Structure 1
């Protein structure tokens, strides 16, 4: 508790950010549904959000390096607040796409500031606790954002004002903190070809998780609305689904540390395909059945990304794990950008039930692509299986989140994340790394 209390300001800022983010996603989906707008637009809005998150990773490093952590955080929070209020001032949907992307860019920079601050201040022995506190704050923020609709189901502009209020208030804990500023940052080298050869099954799982989770956040409110649920019940449905993602992390970690992780991914994919079928096939699902089925599907879908992270870490050396996190988040972002567009187009053509049919098909494809027998163990690290660490469900983090992961050596984190640009002479003298064979 002493460790968690020490970082309460940053956790509270994270909770407020995610509360605003979760409420904004559901509000926009329900608002467009009430105005009889195609679900394809809702999918496009969520896709633009994830595109913004991906772009923000690159822009965030430059901004933080130029003006410092607090100024970068304040500037991005101001931009996000203005973009949220812009949804209420402008009714033109193409402009909403740009505003949604701005929100994603600004939030990614905010994540980078908070995570670099946490990693700088946390002792090596505390990183696991600090990471868990950050994850819990992220999840609870998302849940609270959904529960706002239970208390205030009317889709007026006051909800947008509440979202803007969350982003404005998240400035306060960061601006008044007395913590020492973190050291400047530079992007970690990624090397996508290396990871595609080394951990192809983990990247496939991450891409599929992005397809499913991106579609869920953008389009599940439309599905619930099409089932005839009032706005407050849509918020209850979304909140229970996100709560499932939080509650599954600890039993999942217990299994992941004791069973073959490739096998667990395959089992989760098969169970996901089966659990989503009733919601895909039943035209009208009563709330008493919708809540437990949605809860079960969400437990399975939110299991995929943490398993992929743990599985990939088992086959990548410690000095590359910061770069691995960046690669996983980029892959997730690609899936999360494509998924809402694809699922939204299917829902427009066939109906809202196609969302869970899409989840089921993704589960089947993943089960066919991930084979425990295909894992040769050629590059398995000596200490594998590494301890499973609960991981945020989506891109509610930046590549810097690896610095909080207790599986990553602190010296390797500092080596990759501190500013130390090589000179031309150093670059010429350093030998190129030899390519390593694939699994």
Structure 2
């Protein structure tokens, strides 16, 4: 296993550089907009353009990769997103920055498709689960590192943008110099969205709720802390802790869900995440320690939602194309990401900075109520018939290729009952 990971070290290094630069840039943009006294609704609208661009990139990126090849596509788009990072320092303009965020999201999606395709291509069937675990650890550690770099400079200065741009461009160097063979052109298979809504409505609702809350938090939590008196250093540490917490509970929560009706575990996740969100709103201003701990509980539990609903969706689609199901589920995650910051920013405008957490709690409580309704109206699937849980991250459809539950060349047809 160590030799296998070492053989793909260039890919993991490229992923770490890109993720760190992307996280640094996103948080710095949010802080700069807050310092410039933009309204919460305007900030939410600008920041959500990253998700809009990301969703578009997952749909159109594979076509570009097939035409240009993985290394050329990655190098070109890393250069473009790096230039976009530098362009933020030219001056503040809401429309211009919204376009830059959409461009960053579009390029970022294609870069992630390349990286995850490459990681998957070098993971043997018997080691996919462990390879996925190494990739996830790389993802979260690099993300936390990028958040800590926010404290390296003033958000109003050009230096943080230059540092982010440098990391984004440097991400192309390991791939350009690697001797690894490029993977075959990316092919994204998606199940019809109507089929997924009919067969796995709880999975669809969970993906939407998870994308909604995740995007709202990572876009607007820096704004909330800055507007309640937090320094740039505190924001950096806060966001880094939130990212690190996201990987701590996935495996234990998933294994517990394997022993229960998985829907009950999803209900517990939604309720605990909602309670933690309300706790942040109620206790966050009283103590910095309470803010950090309640936020870490929130992000740690929320990160369990997508892999849990993905596992439930797999349970409900026996014999179907599980990679295609994941790709379709990510479409609903993307819709949630595109709407979360805009809607929650409206709550912040009405209720103050704490409206971020009240808004996310409402969505999670509504989702929990839907889960409770499904528990009452549809039969449970025996735990012995459930597919084993696999921790994962909602990024691009290529990540599903590493899922150990998805057979190689999964093309079978079949069906299942609604969740």
TM-score by length of 2: 0.94
The answer as to whether partners of 1:318 and 1:408 remain within 8 angstroms in 2 is no
Report the CA distance shift for 1:338/1:357 in structure 2 as closer, same or farther (over 3 A): same
Once residues 120 and 92 of structure 2 are traced to their aligned partners in structure 1, the CA distance between those partners, rounded to angstroms, is 41
1:262-281 paired onto structure 2 within 5 Å: 262-281=263-282
The answer as to whether partners of 1:197 and 1:437 remain within 8 angstroms in 2 is no
Report the CA distance shift for 1:381/1:282 in structure 2 as closer, same or farther (over 3 A): closer
Q: Partner of 2:6 in structure 1? A: 5
Q: Partner of 2:224 in structure 1? A: 223
The answer as to whether partners of 1:322 and 1:403 remain within 8 angstroms in 2 is yes
The answer as to whether partners of 1:56 and 1:109 remain within 8 angstroms in 2 is yes
After superposition, give the CA deviation of every residue in 1:242-295 in whole Å (9 maximum; x if it has no partner).
111011122223212222211011111112222222322358232122111111
The answer as to whether partners of 2:258 and 2:389 remain within 8 angstroms in 1 is yes
Report the CA distance shift for 1:284/1:189 in structure 2 as closer, same or farther (over 3 A): closer
Once residues 285 and 122 of structure 2 are traced to their aligned partners in structure 1, the CA distance between those partners, rounded to angstroms, is 51
Once residues 317 and 68 of structure 1 are traced to their aligned partners in structure 2, the CA distance between those partners, rounded to angstroms, is 34
Once residues 435 and 328 of structure 1 are traced to their aligned partners in structure 2, the CA distance between those partners, rounded to angstroms, is 16
After superposition, give the CA deviation of every residue in 1:361-391 in whole Å (9 maximum; x if it has no partner).
12211110013344436xx699732121111
Structure 1 residue 132, shift from structure 2 partner: 1.1
Moved more, 278-287 or 61-70: 278-287
Once residues 262 and 376 of structure 1 are traced to their aligned partners in structure 2, the CA distance between those partners, rounded to angstroms, is 11
Moved more, 367-376 or 319-328: 367-376
Equivalent residue for 1:376, pick from 367, 376, 379: 379
Q: Partner of 1:141 in structure 2? A: 142
Report the CA distance shift for 1:434/1:247 in structure 2 as closer, same or farther (over 3 A): closer
Q: Partner of 1:307 in structure 2? A: 308
1:236-275 paired onto structure 2 within 5 Å: 236-275=237-276
Once residues 436 and 385 of structure 1 are traced to their aligned partners in structure 2, the CA distance between those partners, rounded to angstroms, is 12
Q: Partner of 1:177 in structure 2? A: 178
Report the CA distance shift for 1:121/1:283 in structure 2 as closer, same or farther (over 3 A): closer
Once residues 186 and 284 of structure 2 are traced to their aligned partners in structure 1, the CA distance between those partners, rounded to angstroms, is 51
Moved more, 29-38 or 279-288: 279-288
Residue 37 of structure 2 aligns to a residue in which SS? coil
Report the CA distance shift for 1:96/1:318 in structure 2 as closer, same or farther (over 3 A): farther
Report the CA distance shift for 1:36/1:71 in structure 2 as closer, same or farther (over 3 A): same
Q: Partner of 2:116 in structure 1? A: 115
The answer as to whether partners of 1:3 and 1:126 remain within 8 angstroms in 2 is no
Residue 179 of structure 2 aligns to a residue in which SS? coil
Does 2:205 align with 1:186? Answer: no
1:120-135 paired onto structure 2 within 5 Å: 120-135=121-136
Report the CA distance shift for 1:6/1:387 in structure 2 as closer, same or farther (over 3 A): farther
Q: Partner of 2:209 in structure 1? A: 208
Structure 1 residue 220, shift from structure 2 partner: 0.3
Once residues 364 and 18 of structure 2 are traced to their aligned partners in structure 1, the CA distance between those partners, rounded to angstroms, is 31
Once residues 186 and 292 of structure 2 are traced to their aligned partners in structure 1, the CA distance between those partners, rounded to angstroms, is 43
Once residues 105 and 136 of structure 1 are traced to their aligned partners in structure 2, the CA distance between those partners, rounded to angstroms, is 24
Once residues 286 and 268 of structure 1 are traced to their aligned partners in structure 2, the CA distance between those partners, rounded to angstroms, is 25
Structure 1 residue 91, shift from structure 2 partner: 2.2
Once residues 112 and 204 of structure 1 are traced to their aligned partners in structure 2, the CA distance between those partners, rounded to angstroms, is 24
The answer as to whether partners of 1:269 and 1:367 remain within 8 angstroms in 2 is yes
Q: Partner of 1:426 in structure 2? A: none
Report the CA distance shift for 1:179/1:221 in structure 2 as closer, same or farther (over 3 A): same
1:303-342 paired onto structure 2 within 5 Å: 303-342=304-343
Q: Partner of 1:83 in structure 2? A: 84
Does 2:404 align with 1:403? Answer: no
Moved more, 330-339 or 382-391: 382-391
The answer as to whether partners of 2:21 and 2:146 remain within 8 angstroms in 1 is yes
Once residues 312 and 263 of structure 1 are traced to their aligned partners in structure 2, the CA distance between those partners, rounded to angstroms, is 14
Once residues 192 and 381 of structure 1 are traced to their aligned partners in structure 2, the CA distance between those partners, rounded to angstroms, is 26
Once residues 389 and 183 of structure 1 are traced to their aligned partners in structure 2, the CA distance between those partners, rounded to angstroms, is 25
Q: Partner of 2:37 in structure 1? A: 36
Structure 1 residue 328, shift from structure 2 partner: 1.4
Moved more, 357-366 or 228-237: 357-366
Q: Partner of 1:164 in structure 2? A: 165
Structure 1 regions of 5+ residues with no counterpart?
A: 417-432
After superposition, give the CA deviation of every residue in 1:322-352 in whole Å (9 maximum; x if it has no partner).
1111111111110011010001111122200
Once residues 265 and 435 of structure 1 are traced to their aligned partners in structure 2, the CA distance between those partners, rounded to angstroms, is 22
Once residues 59 and 301 of structure 1 are traced to their aligned partners in structure 2, the CA distance between those partners, rounded to angstroms, is 29
Structure 1 residue 6, shift from structure 2 partner: 2.1
Structure 1 residue 124, shift from structure 2 partner: 0.3
After superposition, give the CA deviation of every residue in 1:206-250 in whole Å (9 maximum; x if it has no partner).
100111001001100011112211010011111111111011122
Structure 1 residue 87, shift from structure 2 partner: 1.1
RMSD: 2.1
